Structure 1
Amino acid sequence: MNPKISDFGMAKFFKKDELEANTNRIVGTYGYVPPEYVKKGIYSTKYDVYSFGVLLLQIISGKRNSSLYGCHENLNFLEYAYELWKLGRGAEFFDASLDDSSSSCKLITCMQLALLCVQENPADRPSMVEVFTILKNKNSVVISVPKQPAYSTTRDERKDIGRKKVFSVNDASITQVEPR
């Protein structure tokens, strides 16, 4: 249980009234970096929320976020947590040493909160103040229902309707008719 996460230190780069900023290069620990930072170099107060969500999922599961899971070992860590939560089988995700009859509901709440923290869209993530409020007042706060987490390779069929098909094996090559 020795986390090696440096991402939380990004918060110190914010000025008092700043909500987001751009960086010139990507820094952070793989698996804890949110998609908006990887894609656009934008870090915000929601960066730390994302990293916290991954860490919370690791704590309650005792699993690494760098492995594949599921019956076919085809789901990343976040997808696996989401699928089990969505199917109402969150107890399968928990570290056996944490689970007992009195803490089961608390762990489900933590799992749901962590899944909210790792949402693709930063606007869908709670603030750290909201995270603290939910953890402190477990019974009196209504928690939103999480959507598919970030970095998910499995998408709902509804989201794929109307999308253009990409005919590239690795999405790295694009043919342009016009010269550059």
Structure 2
Amino acid sequence: MIYRMLAKEPSDRIPTARLVGVGLETVIQRAQITPLPTDMRANLGQRFQPPTPVQQRHNLPAQATPFVGRDGELRMLGLMLEDPYQRLITLVGQGGMGKSRLAVEAGMRTINRHISHTDLFPDGVYFYSLTQISGIDKLLTLIADGARFQFYQGEIAEIAASRLLERQTRPADLRQLRTPHQ
């Protein structure tokens, strides 16, 4: 039956799914296959649980092209990301130099080195592009959105984001941020 379904010539294949079903029923009847007793089925369900899907705890954008070069910078960023005393890393340079791409690549490589990155980054790894941010008031909303923080109905986004930051283990870094206008 399998050979007929995989035949090279379409005319040699089994033409419909219904006929495949009839063929399978015939095979089962001829083989005299009996269903497992109910107590055995229940026992199998307890012994063989399907793996729980791992929740992706990052928002790093997928890249369409491979990353080439900048190995020294990536190594330095990797060390900084793995250092528990490094609270804030800032990449500075002219527009278009690839700062965002470098940051995303460093984040992905760090996550891939620590497949179970919950010990290194228990709250996950998040990338926030600040290119369109003009002030601290928009930063809180950006972080809350990126972390998929759910607001209560009617709650002002800035208040909710402040509440989110207060819950974090090291919120002092973000609360100390100031824009040049403040």
Higher relative contact order (CA 8 A, sep 6+): 1
Larger radius of gyration: 2
Fold-level match, TM-score > 0.5? no
TM-score bucket (shorter structure): under 0.3
Q: TM-score, normalised by structure 1?
A: 0.24
